[in-house]
Amino acid sequence: MSTAESPPARPARFTLDPAFTVGEVDPRLFGSFVEHLGRCVYTGVFEPGHPAADERGLRTDVLDLVRELGVTVIRYPGGNFVSGYRWEDGVGPAGKRPRRLDPAWRSVETNRFGLSEYADFVRKAGAEPMLAVNLGTRGVQEARELLEYANHPGGTELSDLRAAHGDREPYGIRLWCLGNEMDGPWQTGHKTAAEYGRLAAETARAMRQIDGSLELVACGSSGRAMETFAAWEATVLAETYDLVDHISLHAYYEETDGDRDSFLASAVDMESFIEDTVATCDHVGARLKSAKRINLSFDEWNVWYQRRHHARTPPDWEEAPRLLEDDYSVTDAVVVGSLLIALLRHADRVAVACQAQLVNVIAPIMTEPGGPAWRQTTFFPFAQASRYGRGRVLDVRAQSPAYTTARYGEVPLLHATAVRDGAGAVTVFAVNRGQHDALPLEADVRALGLERVVEHSVLADADPEARNTLAEPGRVAPHPGEGTRLADGVLRAVLEPMSWNVIRLA
């Protein structure tokens, strides 16, 4: 987009000081999610016979993109899928694994990809595993058995069975989800907060009897709009507070009824969701007189056009049907960037976050069966945030021109954060939410001793509907910003309309 349009009368401004910080970024903030849903697994990460497949059937072209994306943790196997899943179906010789109906996504599950293939994929991707247990149709005993199979070194029936299946070394999974979205009536085995809280506590206690060093995630609300939000968290944590480390949050956003102004401000809702959940966690801790602090696992978030999904007739028991394959515009990518900023701005409490999902299903990476893999527009803000968002988040309190939205009222045009790495370099992440006008930015960085602008990368396009497709996979990509400078300790830049910006200073 051109920066020649008339800018607002005043610039957005903020001051950075090393004495004022939010917290250290946990690298697991840059996680992703692989579920047995649509083509995320089959013809996504896993496609035996593909020209780029390795000896285990993993697509190496996809692995290359996953490493470029900078994913640090991968949650698996669901999602709604996990609440009806028998983990035993996905171990042992692939040719002997059973085919099952998956009512969560009305699909046929072949189980050709299971626990061993997942562990291999995560290892090759350079990420950490995050495994969910089924607390919908199963419970304490099955969770204990899965933990023994996955993590015990050997000398027991289940650990020896893993070795017999070809994986002599344990998988070493430290991070576990106690079910998925159990507050949702759509969930197989849906429970009340009291029912789930009791089951989660007993499952956590049993798992910790095997390994006290595990990190456990209790199910929080599957959306801030849920009628039970906050009351659910309070009830669940009253049962599990001393047994778990994190509580989950899930949130998806989409443009509705042409209200792009509100869509661009989606992070307002995400930040409120985080802050309200933190308040609930701390209230429970205060009631229990506990010095422990529960952190957040925002283990499902993204732009997802759910109305399109619900308007379609579900498939009739197909293998790996094309489901939820949203084709993302540059506008969607700017919103994804803003959601990443929201997570970084709360790095003191958000310890884990997983963009849902990794390949094909509302994903930054797309593939064609037997064909290529390519980057969606949303690939770029995630990859840049993961690469440059490591270190300590600086407190950004901006003064910014505002605009009015139908959903959130008056919202600042600027959404920004900044991260200082161990060497003292600083990266500013900034979104201009305005659709039409460029936004001047001034940042006082004198206290940081910075000397130069290393790079200003911009993701924006004259066509807000521009997308990367199979026919044109390189249509949208970041480009250099113009005129950005650092003089007398003040950073000055112009943020293009509706843009994601990464400004690196050293």
Q: Which residues are tagged catalytic?
A: 181, 300
Dist. CA 86–CA 101, nearest whole Å: 11
**Residues in contact with 400: Cβ distance below 8 Å, sequence separation at least 6, in sequence order:** 12, 13, 412, 413, 414, 439
254-283 in b/e burial notation, b at 16+ Cβ within 10 A? bbeeeebbbbbbbbbbbbebbebbbebbee
Give the burial class of 284: count Cβ atoms within 10 A of its Cβ; 0-12 exposed, 13-18 middle, 19 or more buried.
buried
**CA dihedral over 259, 263, 264, 266, signed as positive or negative:** positive
> Which helix or strand (DSSP H or E) is residue 430 part of?
strand 426-432
Alpha-carbon dihedral angle through residues 135, 136, 141, 146, given to the nearest 10 degrees:
-70
Q: Are 358 and 373 in contact (CB under 8 A)?
A: no
Q: Are 112 and 89 in contact (CB under 8 A)?
A: no
Per-residue 3-state assignment (H helix, E strand, C coil) for 21-57? EEEECCHHHHEEECCCCCCCCECCCECCCCCCECCCC
**CA dihedral over 266, 268, 273, 278, signed as positive or negative:** positive
**CA angle in degrees (0–180, nearest 5) for 477-358-498:** 35
Read off the tokens for 341.
């900023």
Read off the tokens for 499.
């843009």
Give the burial class of 483: count Cβ atoms within 10 A of its Cβ; 0-12 exposed, 13-18 middle, 19 or more buried.
exposed
Identify the three-state secondary structure at position 453. strand
